[in-house]
């Protein structure tokens, strides 16, 4: 079996799920949807933007004239802190089960400037954003009923971001959400059977092979994981073993800012457009237990496949069976590496 030619499946050891790779299909002609290319440049201030300084939001609140980052409780929060965490199980058969989910949803603006992105902000300008993430993680994670703090950014209309103003969200929940819950189990099992950390071992394998690594600095590495589903998916890991932002040193603020700028500006070069993506940090749960197994990382899931207008869809076999990709992670990594260093 040749990884460059033959259909095969690859294991994601972080979730224990498989993905299907079909490298022989990369020359297949495209006859599907071609999205409209968004080419408008944004103004530095938009009077109609609910995130710009001084503007009023839908709920009636008015934003302050903020000059750096700005955090507020989401006006349409998906979670409420005062929800009762009770469990319902109709007829005790485990067939109709529901649980109250207390939580907090916040919005973090990266900058007062409406037209910036992580790719166009300098690493120095990103540092206060990282600082704010760390503060939010600490504050929400220390609350009694919060077991997990998910920081994530949806960028671009293609990913459902309704506003181009640079911002992200924080959802803090009383339960551990599905994706990190799977990774928790896998990392725990790996630590138990190998007496080592899964991602520490994975990173050192990638560093030896130098096939899927896109870029690296003194603190973080960006790699197209062997099991990537999205065409240009990236995993950004800390080189040092640490559970999350609670363990950051001042140097980590600087190095993560630099890495995020590098990754996002590289993405923008792939198809010469602001690259849409969903990204988020996977950190140690804040359930007040020890998590020696957890290794801090971020996932970038960008949907673009072949051009600025052709995206990957998760439909058909992928929705009903297993996610699948044509272009191999190694080919995607080579392309990104060329753009990251060029």
Nearer to Zn ion, 225 or 303 (CB): 225
Nearer to Zn ion, 138 or 241 (CB): 241
Identify the active-site residue in 114, 165, 167, 299: 167
Name residues whose C-beta falls within 8 Å of residue 289's C-beta, 6 or more positions apart in sequence: none
Q: Considering only CA atoms, which of 75, 235, 97 is closest in space to residue 175?
A: 97
Euclidean distance between the first and the last CA atom of the chain, given in angstroms as a whole number? 33
How many whole angstroms separate alpha carbon 183 and alpha carbon 298? Answer: 12
**Structure token pair of residue 163:** 């506003």
Given a contact cutoff of 8 angstroms between Cβ atoms, the answer to whether 297 and 175 are in contact is no
Nearer to Zn ion, 236 or 336 (CB): 236
Strand partners, 154: 278
How many whole angstroms separate alpha carbon 252 and alpha carbon 222? Answer: 15
DSSP 8-state code for residue 246: G
Residues that bind Zn ion in the complex, under the rule CB under 5 A: 46, 49, 51-52, 114, 165, 183, 197, 199-200, 241, 282, 295
Active-site residue, 167 included:
yes
CB of 295 to Zn ion, least distance (A): 4
DSSP helix/strand/coil, 56 = strand
Nearer to Zn ion, 12 or 257 (CB): 12
Strand partners, 280: 152, 299
Name residues whose C-beta falls within 8 Å of residue 173's C-beta, 6 or more positions apart in sequence: 79, 101, 102, 103, 146, 147, 148, 150
Q: Considering only CA atoms, which of 199, 172, 177, 203 is closest in space to residue 186?
A: 199
Nearer to Zn ion, 49 or 77 (CB): 49
Q: Mind telling me the catalytic residues?
A: 167
């Amino acid at each position: 079996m040749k990884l460059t030619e033959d259909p095969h499946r690859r294991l994601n050891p972080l979730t224990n799920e498989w993905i299907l790779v079909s490298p022989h299909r990369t020359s297949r002609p495209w006859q599907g949807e071609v999205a409209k290319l968004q080419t408008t440049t944004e103004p530095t201030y938009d009077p109609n933007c609910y995130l710009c300084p001084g503007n009023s939001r839908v709920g009636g609140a008015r934003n302050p004239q903020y000059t750096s980052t700005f955090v507020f409780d989401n006006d349409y929060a998906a979670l409420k802190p005062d929800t009762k965490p009770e469990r319902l199980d109709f007829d005790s058969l485990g067939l109709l089960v529901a649980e109250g989910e207390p939580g907090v949803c916040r919005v973090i603006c990266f900058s007062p400037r409406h037209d910036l992105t992580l790719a166009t902000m300098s690493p120095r300008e990103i540092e206060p954003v990282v600082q704010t993430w760390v503060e939010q993680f600490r504050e929400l994670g220390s609350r009694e009923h919060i077991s997990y703090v998910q920081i994530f950014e949806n960028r671009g209309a293609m990913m459902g971001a309704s506003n181009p103003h640079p911002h992200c969200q924080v959802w803090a929940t009383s339960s551990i959400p599905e994706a990190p819950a799977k990774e928790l189990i896998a990392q725990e099992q790996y630590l138990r059977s190998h007496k080592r950390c899964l991602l520490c071992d994975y990173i050192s394998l990638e560093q030896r092979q130098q096939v899927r690594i896109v870029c690296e600095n003194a603190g973080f590495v960006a790699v197209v994981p062997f099991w990537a589903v999205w065409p240009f998916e990236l995993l950004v890991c800390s080189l040092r073993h640490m559970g999350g932002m609670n363990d950051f040193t001042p140097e980590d603020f600087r190095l993560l800012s630099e890495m995020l700028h590098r990754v996002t500006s590289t993405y923008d070069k792939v198809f010469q457009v602001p690259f849409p993506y969903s990204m988020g940090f996977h950190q140690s749960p804040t359930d007040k237990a020890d998590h020696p197994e957890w290794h801090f990382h971020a996932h970038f899931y960008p949907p673009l496949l072949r051009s600025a207008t052709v995206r990957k869809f998760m439909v058909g076999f992928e929705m009903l069976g297993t996610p699948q990709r044509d272009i191999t992670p190694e080919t995607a990594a080579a392309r990104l590496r060329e753009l990251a260093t060029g």
